Structures are given as structure tokens and as C-alpha cells.
Structure 1
Amino acid sequence: MSETMESPDKEDAVSKKRTNVWEDLGSPRYIVAPMVDASELAWRLLSRRHGAQLCYTPMLHSSVFCRDPKYRREALASTSEDRPLIVQFCGSDPNILLEAARWAEPYCDAIDINIGCPQAIAKRGHYGAFLQDDWDLLKKIVSTLKNGLCIPVTCKLRVFSEINRTVQYACMLENAGASLLTIHGRTREQKGPLTGLASWKHIKAVRDTVKIPVIANGNIQCMQDVQRCIEEIQVQGVMSAEGNLYNPYIFESHYPACWEPALEYLELAEQYPVPASYIRGHLFKLFHHVLCLAENQEERENLATNSTLEAFKNVAYALRDRYLPYHEGHLIWQTGKTDYNLELPPWLCQPYVREPPQEYTQKIQDGLPRKREYRDEEGNEISRKRSKKLKRIARRPNRTTSIPKRSSDRCYACPNPLGFKCEYKLCRQCCRNKCYIENLDCAGHRNLTKTRRQMAKEFEAKRKEVENMT
């Protein structure tokens, strides 16, 4: 049989093999996105209890993962309930990515390469969405992992402005060895206040072209969005990020009272320890709409300034006690509005609707403040960095904060900075020379020249005394 007649069969075989990857993952339709400081084990287990069928770990830095055992242990924390699981890595070195993936391979069902992160740190590190300008490197990364692992390799990417270029990009990744593509329908410029809507047209164009499974990501705020996305684009699954964070019951099409998922999550966080900053971030999103009310200012402050599970639970209990009578219908909630169409009470978990980019741009043009203003307790304007420091101090009032800073004064004998505790106001080397010449000690530099010389003399005297006696 001719070579040209064999190639379609080979392509079909490869396509069938990669489609089986989706079946091996359990053919999931409802997927929780990889989210830095957010999709940790406790949150994944909460999401799985309420409809999520596949979860990703947070983005892991491949080089840190390879060199830091503690980072690996924390990142790979999992249970038998936490499957199927995809571990996501970022990086730009194929060999380091492969080494990291091999560490993670026994603990997951696939390895995902993050080529969608649009943040400034990704630009500085040359990874995430900033790899989309270097197709040759991406081919090498994907093919290296594909040939070096026994589990599938997947990619999570952002689109280009042009649909045709996005399709070519996806085909390149497929040909390089990717077994699955997750497509976030936004460009890397669509972030922060310029996020806007994701383009499902781009995702559909890719889905209609490639032969491997496609997951859609973007514009998912409720279960109706999930169903509409699957129907319109014909993707295998739909991924949720912000929608899941504001309502972890999203895949059950249920809007619970905010304290229900909060208390359930806190129980999981107690069983599977989570950094306080992660917990606080989750609770602020779950309580977002209700904490915006002036009557809950105290709870907002308690959540911001405390770091214990007990304190977090107390916030949830306080909100529950305040709004449970309204939730159960014993009291009537007055919104002050006459039109209740699609209006949910603030204590229910519900989507967070971003300000459209056009409104943000108009505010900038109108000269309104572009950035949030930060002020101290006396009302003085301060920097964001200073504001964060004051919050840390408020959360840990008993912790010593008056740590002396290293002096910027110069050594008396040379241009180097002097030692912070040096008795002679010298740098380490000059202090060592002074102690050697003048037979001195310096406790600040832990230099015991005089003491050791004295000990040596005493030892020598004892040795001679012993010799004379014999």
C-alpha cells in the first residue's frame, strides 16, 4: 500500500488514541481551573463534592518544584477522592519541565503546560502566555514532555486576536503532541480592568479543526452558561475559575447561602491544612456581596485582620445568625428596589460581574482616579505596600516589628558597609585585620582572636608542665 494511503489511517489511530485520553479522565464535563493560591486540595475537594468532575492544581513553577522538596510535598498533597487530577506547570526550559513532570507523574492523571498566564511575572520569567510568540520553543517543550512521560500532556492557552492564527497555534500544539487543549477565549491583553468577554468564536474555530478534546474557558458564571457553551461550541468540557470561586456549587446549579460552603470549606481546611491567606481569599469571594453592606463592616474587618480558623468560623457564624431568618423566610428582606427581576439576596453565593472595559476606559478619559487610594487610620494617603504592611501588623499585634535594619554607614577603614554590631565600626574584613594585629575580640563579628590566643597559651603552658613532670 502506498505511503499516501497509509497516512490517513495513522492519523486516525493517533486521533483515536488521544480521544481515549478524555475517556481515561472519566469524560468530565465540569472542570475546576488551575488557580494560584486558590485551587488547593481543600477547595478541590469542596468543588468535587458539588459537581466538579475534574480539577487542576494551581500553577506550579517547574524550577522551584525541582529544587525544593517542601514545595513538592505541599503541591502534591492529595487524597484518593482528588482524582482525576491534572498537575499544571509553568516554565520555559523543556528539560526542567520534564524533570518536574516526572516528579509529579505518579500523583496525577495528566500534566498541563501553562501557556496562558498573562501576568507581569510570567513576562519576566518568559512563561505562560508570553511563550505564544516562540512556537519553536513550544514545540520542543510539548514534544519533550510527550516523549518523556507515560501520562498525557495537555496545554492551557489564550487566543490571538485573529481566529486563523489561533487555529494555527492550536494545530501546532496538537502536532507537537498535546493530547488535550484548554482554551481561554481571551487574549493575553485582556486582564484586570480590561478583561471583558471571552470569545467563544475562537474556541469553536479550534474545536472544529483539531482532532483532540477541547475544554472551553471564559464567560462561565452559572450552570446555564455551561450548558449553552457545550451546545454552541460542542466542546467536551467547560472550565470555571471565577464562577467556581464565588460559588463552588456552580455545577449543581445551586445558589447556597454563603455561610454553607464557607463552613464546609473551613472543615476541609482544618483536615487538610491551608495557609491563612488562601482561606481569607476564598472567604472574601464567598462573602463578597454581603460584606459590601455597611452593616457588616465589623465582620469585614475581622476577616481582614485575623488569621485563625476559629476567627474565620466566627465571621461565618455571625453572618449566618444575621441573615438566616431572611433566608428561611421568617423575615422579609427589603432591597429598596421595586424591580426584583434576576435580583438575588446578597447573602447568596452569586457571580461577580466585572466592570466593562469601556466603562473603565471612559473613567480614565474623564480623569477619575485610576488606582485605588490607600489611607492609614488617620486618613493620610499611603502607598499600597505600606497599606499591606499595616494590615499584616494589625493581624499579628503581638509580633515584634521593631527589627533593626542594617546600617548604611561606611566602614572607617574602607568603602564597605560597616558591621551592624561591630564594636569598632568596621566591616568584617577590616575588623578581622584589626583584631589580628591588635589582639582583640569582636562579639559583633564573632571574632575571638584574643580569646583563642589566650586559650592556646594556656594549653601550651599545661603541655610544658606535663612534660616537665614526666
Structure 2
Amino acid sequence: MATAASEPPFDGDDDRLCSEPTQPSDPNQVDCCLGNPRGYLSGEARIERAWAHWKKLGQPKLIVAPMVDNSELPFRMLCRKYGADAAYTPMLHSRIFTENEKYRSQEFTTCKEDRPLFVQFCANDPDTLLEAARRVEPYCDYVDINLGCPQRIARRGNYGAFLMDNLPLIKSLVEKLALNLNVPVSCKIRIFPNLQDTLTYAKMLEDAGCSLLAVHGRTRDEKDGKKIRANWSAIRAVRDAVRIPVLANGNIRHMDDVASCLEETGADGVLSAESLLENPALFSGFQTAEWVLGGEERNEKGGKLDQADLVVEYLKLCEKYPVPWRMIRSHVHKLLGEWFRVQPCVREDLNSQSILTFEFLYGLVNRLRELGVTIPLYTKDTHMGKVCANGIGA
């Protein structure tokens, strides 16, 4: 799991790295696919290895994006149940991860079913990044470098998208991991305002040893994803310019968007972030009412699943895979946002709780049910039917 760059709050000390690790890293290990020691591969061999690894994982198409405090293990497992092929952890701060055992045990948890898995770090020091990466290498399929965070905390900490002003440093981060890890290195980036700068950037990352590139089709200054459409044409240009697998990020709200994005970008997979927070069943074809209203006529097939059902499933996963309560609180707010607009008093009760319990949260869901709130999720062949002005399904 992840946190921002500042020291995070902690709720406990238990180490919950619960998956079975692979063999420890060996810098002299021979790549079984290509017969070359890692770190001594020609450019062509690196490309072949990148694709061999991607194909070995089944070439996942539907992927949970890294989200600070929101793509933690229980949420990843919920999304996997509903169609996600792979997932990123939230961003982990490489320096804190190397220095603080409590941070490691609380912010990164996984299990054997949590694969394929990208573990994402922010960093600005190659040696620190490598030390952090070696700790998670046995538990993941890629170590990912966050080169896309546009928030002010990233500016203050000199990481994420603000490293775009220092391409030699970015190159050194990628090379350090590529030459010293057995697990492949991936990078998640944003685009430059100038397309050629973006293409030069992507090629540099590939040459440095990046095995997979996730491209968010917005610039560093384009932070509001609801107001600014991602540039799929730029992602297409990157796809055409590099020879490693490319993932597209931006504008994925439902499965129609997935199909359109794959067609327009030629990407090898898509990432979804904010839309999954409201609808973790997105990759199973479910849509929220927002994306069904105004659409074509559909056959009646709604109401079998809603966010309250998903909250209950998520809470059960949290009981199985404990995480900090701040993450749980955040997910409940995002999943039940529209429900709380119908019954704001229930939201106020949630906000007033300084200490949460599962009993309280299950009771909160039951209370919404008793108050008659029901806003179903819909599949594509569903007709929305009448919807009351207050947002309660008729």
C-alpha cells in the first residue's frame, strides 16, 4: 500500500507480507527465456525479454492503477474479483520504505492471489530506490517507478512528474533497477506538452531498461481528470515509437471506454483509477447511473449489484487483510458518495466517528438500506428506467 511523501500514520506493527516469496535476487541469475545474465543484455534482447515476461503474465488488459491510499490489498482483491487482470500498489516512498519497518508492514501487504502485481515507488536517489525495490522484488511482477505524480507534495519532495525536469536523473533511476533486479522495471509517466519531447522521453526510458511503460495522457499541469480529457493520440504516438508493452491511462469510465481506448491507442492494456473507486466492478461491465443516463435504449437488466454490496464485500476483505482505517474510511466515502447525497445525515454520522469499527460500518450500510436508498449498478444492455430527482432508483 502507499502513502504520500510525509511520514504516514500507523495503526499497528504486524508484518503482513503474506505471499510466498520467489527465490532471492541473484545479480548473476541467467534469464531463462534468453540465456543472458540480467544487466548484460543487448537492446534487442531487452525488448525480447520485456515481451516474454509480459506474455508469461498472460498479457493483462484490465489493470487497477496506482492510487495513494486507495489501491491497497483489499481493494485490489475486490477489483480482481470483478475482472481486473492485474493491479498496482499505491505509491510507496522509497526512502521511508527502506528506513521504517512499521511503514513497510502497514503500507505494503499482499497475498499469493495478488498477482500480477506492480509495486510502485517514488524516488529521486538510485541507491535508495534499489534498496527499497530489493525488499519487494520477491513479491511482485514489476517494480514500477512513479514518474507521473503531479501533486504539490511531489514538487516538494522532488519526485513523480517533477523529475521530468531532470531526465538524466530519471535515466539513472531506471538503469539502476534494470541492471540490478531480476524482476522487470516499469515506469508510469505523464506526457509533455510537446509530443516530440514525449517521444524522446519514452525512447530514453526504453533504452535505459524500462520493460513496460504506462502513459497517462495528460501533462503535469493537467490535474483535473474530470475536466480535461486524456490525450489518447499522444499515447498512440508513444505506442508507435517504442517496442516494449505500453499501457494507456486516462478517460476509462466503463467498458465502452476500454474498447475505444485500446482501439485508438493500440495500447497493450488500460489502467483505471478514479472510476474504479466509485465502481470496483467496472471491469465486469457494470456502470454507474451517471454513464447510463442519456444512452441508447437498453434491455432491462439492472439492480443486481450496487455500491453497498461492494462496500460489504470490501469490508470482509479488510477483515481478512487488515489495512489502516484511513484507507477503509476513504473507500466507504467514495463508494457511497451518491448514497450520502440522498441521506447526508448518514454521512455526517460517519464523519463524526473518530474511531471506526466494522460493526459500525456494516450497520451504516444496513441503515442506508432501511432508509430506502438504492442506486443500482447497470450492465451495458440495461435500461435505466425512471430515476427520481433525488437520485433514488425508482
What interval of TM-score do these two structures reach, taking the shorter chain for normalisation?
Answer: 0.7 to 0.9
Within a 5 Å distance, the mapping from 1:89-168 to structure 2 comes to: 89-168=121-200
- In 1, are the aligned partners of 2:375 and 2:393 still within 8 Å (CA)? no
Deviation at 1:25, TM superposition (A): 2.6
Q: Which among 230, 239, 243 is matched to residue 198 of structure 1?
A: 230
Within a 5 Å distance, the mapping from 1:286-365 to structure 2 comes to: 286-293=335-342, 296-306=343-353, 307-323=356-372, 335-336=388-389
- Structure 1 match to 2:329: 280
Distance 2:199 2:358 in 1: 47
Deviation at 1:346, TM superposition (A): 5.2
Q: State which drifts further: 215-224 or 21-30.
A: 21-30
Q: Which among 192, 210, 213 is matched to residue 245 of structure 2?
A: 213
Deviation at 1:11, TM superposition (A): 4.6
- Structure 2 match to 1:86: 118
Deviation at 1:297, TM superposition (A): 1.8
Matched, 1:269 2:318: yes
Question: Quick one: structure 1 residues 346 and 57, their matched pair in 2 at CA, closer, same or farther if it must change by over 3 Å?
Answer: farther
Matched, 1:232 2:264: yes
The 3-state SS of whatever aligns with 2:165 is coil
Distance 1:325 1:290 in 2: 8
Deviation at 1:153, TM superposition (A): 0.3
Runs of at least 5 residues in structure 1 that lack an aligned partner in the other structure? 1-8, 338-344, 349-470
Could you list the per-position Cα deviations for residues 413-462 of structure 1 after superposition, in whole angstroms to 9, with x for gaps in the alignment? xxxxxxxxxxxxxxxxxxxxxxxxxxxxxxxxxxxxxxxxxxxxxxxxxx
Matched, 1:15 2:62: no
Deviation at 1:324, TM superposition (A): 6.8
Q: How many residue pairs get matched?
A: 328
Q: State which drifts further: 91-100 or 309-318.
A: 309-318
Distance 1:347 1:280 in 2: 25
Distance 1:257 1:194 in 2: 22
The AA in structure 2 aligned to 1:268 is L
Runs of at least 5 residues in structure 2 that lack an aligned partner in the other structure? 1-40, 288-304, 378-384
- Structure 2 match to 1:183: 215
Distance 2:53 2:247 in 1: 13
Identify the structure with the greater helix proportion.
1
Could you list the per-position Cα deviations for residues 43-75 of structure 1 after superposition, in whole angstroms to 9, with x for gaps in the alignment? 111111110111111100000000111111223
Distance 2:118 2:374 in 1: 42
- In 2, are the aligned partners of 1:302 and 1:311 still within 8 Å (CA)? no
- In 2, are the aligned partners of 1:115 and 1:127 still within 8 Å (CA)? yes
The 3-state SS of whatever aligns with 2:120 is strand
The TM-score, its normalising length taken from structure 1, stands at 0.67
The AA in structure 2 aligned to 1:115 is L
Question: Quick one: structure 1 residues 191 and 319, their matched pair in 2 at CA, closer, same or farther if it must change by over 3 Å?
Answer: same
Distance 1:335 1:119 in 2: 38
Question: Quick one: structure 1 residues 208 and 327, their matched pair in 2 at CA, closer, same or farther if it must change by over 3 Å?
Answer: closer
The AA in structure 1 aligned to 2:139 is Y
Larger Rg: 1
The 3-state SS of whatever aligns with 2:372 is helix
The AA in structure 2 aligned to 1:152 is P
Q: State which drifts further: 218-227 or 309-318.
A: 309-318
- In 2, are the aligned partners of 1:289 and 1:346 still within 8 Å (CA)? no
- Structure 2 match to 1:68: 100
Distance 1:29 1:326 in 2: 29
- In 2, are the aligned partners of 1:111 and 1:151 still within 8 Å (CA)? yes
The AA in structure 2 aligned to 1:55 is A
- In 2, are the aligned partners of 1:287 and 1:347 still within 8 Å (CA)? no
Determine which structure has greater relative contact order: mean sequence separation of CA pairs < 8 Å that are 6+ residues apart, divided by chain length: 2
Deviation at 1:298, TM superposition (A): 1.6
Deviation at 1:322, TM superposition (A): 3.2
Distance 2:317 2:372 in 1: 24
Distance 2:198 2:375 in 1: 49
Identity percentage over the alignment? 46
- Structure 2 match to 1:438: none
